[in-house]
């Protein structure tokens, strides 16, 4: 890790080896954060770290191994010298047209169990510190059930609900904790590569800039890109019988 000023804000991003997490790590680094990045693939972590313009630290971490991941995130916090911002960007969306059990199980392992492991570790750290900023990358897919990928939509609904609950808990406990729920639409990432029927697809750098802006403004909820708020409103008000026929 390179040297950093003690007054620098310190951000840790879980799932920073590709997609939104990688782009956001680079964006926050450009904005003056010391950045800790975590992910499963060591070679990709090194590649991302080489592109960061400021101080950084890395940690191999697999949220599908939650007990180990909690220890590793705490080690990354120590290596970075603290944490002011935690972004949980790890997530999977596994195509499963046959509705086999293993892909559904693996989606839940990362997007629910792994998410909770990182969120609780972050919440407990911020509670001990007296405050901070917790960000979860959920999805607009979490607003309603999606027949194409049931476990993915349901897992993102869980994340939305969990973030809301942590926000309420922090307020009840008098914590100075900001909780931000980022709900992307379609973003050009490896997870969306090759999918059909996509529209309003945002480049990952544009998405990262808007996410960083939402973090700076301490937004509770932000749709990425902004126009997806229109789709969110429609999705929330669309009758179930219409969704079943789409």
Three-state DSSP string of 195-246: CCCCCCCECHHHHHHHHHHHHHCCCCEEEECCCHHHHHHHHHHCCHHHHCCC
Query: How large is the average pLDDT for residues 19-42?
Result: 97
pLDDT surpassing 70 at residue 156: yes
152 is catalytic: yes
- State the pLDDT at residue 2: 46
The yes/no answer on whether domain 10-243 falls in CATH 3.40.50.720 is: yes
Task: Categorize the per-residue pLDDT at 1 as very low, low, confident or very high, splitting at 50, 70 and 90.
Answer: very low
- State the pLDDT at residue 240: 87
- State the pLDDT at residue 200: 74
Encode burial over 131-154: b for 16+ CB neighbours within 10 A, e otherwise: ebbbbbbbbbbbbeebeebebbbb
Query: How large is the average pLDDT for residues 156-181?
Result: 98
Query: How large is the average pLDDT for residues 207-234?
Result: 96
Compute the distance between CA of residue 33 and CA of residue 7 in angstroms, rounded to an integer: 10
Q: What is the pLDDT of residues 60-71, one digit of tens each?
A: 999 999 999 999
Task: Categorize the per-residue pLDDT at 194 as very low, low, confident or very high, splitting at 50, 70 and 90.
Answer: low
Q: What is the pLDDT of residues 69-98, one digit of tens each?
A: 999 999 999 999 999 999 999 999 988 999
Of 33, 125, 152, 223, which residue is the catalytic one? 152
pTM of the model: 0.92
Least confident of 32-41, 46-55, 216-225, 237-246: 237-246
pLDDT surpassing 70 at residue 174: yes
108's tokens? 């839940």
Q: What is the pLDDT of residues 91-149, one digit of tens each?
A: 999 889 999 999 999 999 999 999 999 999 999 999 999 999 999 999 999 999 888 88
- State the pLDDT at residue 5: 63
Compute the distance between CA of residue 110 and CA of residue 63 in angstroms, rounded to an integer: 6
What does the domain layout of the chain look like in residue ranges?
A: 10-243
Task: Categorize the per-residue pLDDT at 150 as very low, low, confident or very high, splitting at 50, 70 and 90.
Answer: very high
- Contact (CB, 8 A) for 183 and 141: no
- State the pLDDT at residue 146: 83
């Amino acid at each position: 890790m390179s040297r950093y000023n003690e007054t620098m804000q310190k951000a840790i991003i879980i799932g920073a080896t590709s997609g939104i997490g990688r782009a956001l790590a680079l964006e926050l680094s450009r904005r003056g954060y010391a950045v800790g990045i975590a992910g499963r693939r060591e070679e990709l972590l090194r590649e991302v770290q080489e592109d960061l313009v400021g101080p950084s630290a890395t940690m191999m971490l697999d949220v599908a191994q939650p007990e180990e991941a909690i220890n590793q995130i705490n080690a990354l916090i120590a290596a970075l010298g603290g944490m002011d911002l935690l972004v949980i960007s790890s997530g999977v969306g596994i195509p499963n047209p046959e509705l086999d059990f293993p892909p559904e199980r693996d989606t839940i392992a990362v997007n629910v169990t792994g998410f909770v492991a990182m969120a609780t570790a972050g919440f407990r750290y911020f509670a001990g510190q007296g405050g901070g900023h917790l960000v979860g990358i959920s999805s607009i897919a979490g607003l309603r059930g999606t027949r194409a990928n049931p476990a993915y939509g349901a897992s993102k609904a869980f994340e939305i609900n969990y973030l809301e609950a942590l926000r309420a808990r922090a307020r009840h406990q008098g914590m100075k904790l900001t909780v931000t729920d980022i709900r992307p639409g379609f973003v050009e990432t490896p997870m969306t590569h090759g999918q059909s029927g996509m529209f309003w697809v945002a480049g990952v750098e544009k998405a990262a800039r808007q996410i960083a802006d939402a973090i700076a403004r301490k937004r509770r909820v932000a749709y990425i890109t902004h126009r997806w708020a229109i789709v969110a409103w429609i999705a929330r008000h669309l009758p179930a019988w219409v969704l079943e026929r789409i």
